[in-house]
Structure 1
Amino acid sequence: MIDQRDVNGGFDHVETWVFDLDNTLYPGECNLFPQIDRRMGEFIAESLGIPLAEARILRETYYYEHGTTLSGLVRLHGISPHAFLDYVHDIDLSAVAAAPELATALDALPGRKFILTNASRKHAEAVTMRLGLDRSFEDIFDIHALEYIHPKPAREAFDRFAVAHGVTPHHAAMFDDLPANLETAHALGMTTVLVDCSLTEHPQHQAVAGWAGLPAHIHHRTNALAAFLEGIGTARAVDGAEQAA
């Protein structure tokens, strides 16, 4: 466990728990992104009729310029988002194992629970089924709901989610593996938790690995999500018992 910065406090006001999907609800060691990355390159190369090496550069360029590769493809090339998402998420999920401790910790949290992801609902449902979390969340707010061109970390993504589900940001907590997403969540008043997945190939993960402390927009940091949530649930239960007494 690392940098949990007062796990027993800071969550008393939280009524809604919001989670990213990939590299947040499952360990980074599952290493799913290389599969997705490879299939994105293949899709771009085939769709635009360009060499694979050029497609890989374009994938990365669009990611940084538009928030997701898909957003750039939709905006600039009119690519079918359904075709793209179905292709890139057609991957082997066998590395994702059931997480009964996480399911128990989620169930113990008082309040509403959601997934907010730049992936598709179909992918999220497949992953949560593997994890045994298919009944743990009220809803999945995916890239389709964000109309493909408003992905995290754009404020529009969080605003759309909050309006759709009647969520008050000041009474919500956001869990994500990417600091940029948490920066927007913090600006809206959400309590933020960085789930450190210890991957080194993503620039944002590399930056996290070099941190000596936490930036102001991240309130908590953990590399053991189930235990972290269990600590919150226990603290909330104790507080409730004391108030009742």
Structure 2
Amino acid sequence: MPIPLHDPDVWLFDLDNTLYPARCNLFAQIDVRIGAYIADRLKVRLEEARRMQKQYWRDHGTSMRGLMTLHGVDPKHMLAYVHDIDYSPVLPAPALDAALAALPGRKIIFTAGDVPHAERVVERLGVARHFEAIFDIVAGDYWPKPHQAIYDKLVLKHGVDPTRAAMADDIAANLKPACAMGMRTVWIRTDESVKRAAGLDLDHIHHQTDDLAIWLADWIARRRAPK
């Protein structure tokens, strides 16, 4: 897949396991909360709730979308419940802060979480000041990546030229629509995301790294090097 000719002037960053490292494992807490929410909301045993949680995720893209479609669940109520977690595993990230400060262009968070969740994370990381906006699951009408419609909505809402943009995400499939629109793509490899990408055609991946801050610092250094 050809790399866009222009350097990006807009950067889209996924949040979970991208801006903060996967070892924080916030989703383990969220996953438990989702199961508990289903059990309480639908009055089923926890084992049945877990089965439904995974089935809805497979069938609808997220457990929440399945609950909305089949049970009329209020997504805002559910998001508030499942994100009521301990954020202390997310530590200040001075290297990421420095890289984002040096990175030219606009910066937007593109997340399947909600705005309060993203705000808590970037405050913990110490990088909130770098982002002009958060495009969350609410802004995307509760559809998750990689639904094309939410990419279209993001670029329209924030005036993004996809051919002058880059997107970083830990889920390889989420980068495919971005690439098709003309964006540069950066895949953040984690143990889980590598497993999920097994067998996928990765021609839409332009760059990949195990550490976003290191990759950004290297990218900036290469752009500043004498030609």
Please report the TM-score for the alignment, with normalisation by the length of structure 1: 0.86
Cα distance in 2 between the residues matched to 1:118 and 1:238 = 36
Alignment of 1:1-245 (within 5 A): 12-148=6-142, 150-199=143-192, 204-208=193-197, 215-238=202-225
Whether contact under 8 Å (2:39, 2:46) holds in the other structure is: yes
Q: Which amino acid aligns with 2:221?
A: T
Contact 1:11 1:232 in 2 (8 A): no
Which letter maps to 1:90?
D
**What is the Cα deviation at residue 103 of structure 1?**
0.9
CA distance in 1, matches of 2:95, 2:201: 27
Partner Cα separation in structure 2 for residue 186 and residue 88 of structure 1: 31
- Secondary structure at the aligned position of 2:129 is classed as coil
Over the aligned positions, Cα root-mean-square deviation in angstroms equals 1.9
Where does residue 4 of structure 1 map in the other structure?
none
Partners of 1:76 and 1:179 in 2: how far apart?
28
Q: Secondary structure at the match of 1:221?
A: strand
**C-alpha displacement of 1:198:** 2.4
Deviation of 1:112 after TM superposition, in Å, equals: 0.5
- The letter of the residue matching 1:206 is K
| C-alpha distance in 2 between matches for 1:205 and 1:36 | 21
| Aligned counterparts of 1:75 and 1:21: Cα–Cα separation in 2 | 25
Secondary structure of the residue aligned to 1:38 is helix
Unaligned ranges ≥5, structure 2:
none
How far apart are the structure 2 equivalents of 1:54 and 1:218? 38
The answer as to whether partners of 1:24 and 1:197 remain within 8 angstroms in 2 is no
Code of the residue aligned with 1:159 in structure 2: it is: D
Match of 1:14, SS state, is: coil
TM-score, structure 2 normalization: 0.93
Calculate percent identity across the aligned residue pairs: 47
- Aligned residues of 2:4 and 2:182 also touching (Cα < 8 A): no
**Do the aligned residues in 2 keep the contact of 1:12 with 1:236 (CA within 8 Å)?**
no
- Take 1:35 and 1:56, find their aligned partners in 2: how far apart are those partners? 14
Which residue number corresponds to residue 3 of structure 1? none
For the residues of structure 1 that align with 2:75 and 2:128, how far apart are their CA atoms? 24
Say whether the 8 Å CA contact 2:53–2:63 is kept in structure 1.
yes
Tell me the SS of whatever aligns to 1:118.
Answer: coil
How far does residue 67 in structure 1 lie from its aligned partner after superposition? 1.8
Q: Is the 8 A contact 2:24 2:89 kept in 1?
A: yes
Counterparts of 2:104 and 2:47 in 1: how far apart (Å)? 48
Q: 1:197 Cα shift? A: 2.2
Q: Whole-Å Cα distance in 2 between the matches of residues 75 and 15 of structure 1?
A: 38
Could you tell me whether the CA contact under 8 Å between 1:113 and 1:137 is conserved in 2? yes
Amino acid at match of 1:167: V
Q: Is the 8 A contact 1:96 1:130 kept in 2?
A: yes
Listed as ranges, the gaps of 5+ residues in structure 1 are 1-8
Contact 1:67 1:154 in 2 (8 A): no
**Count, aligned residues:** 225
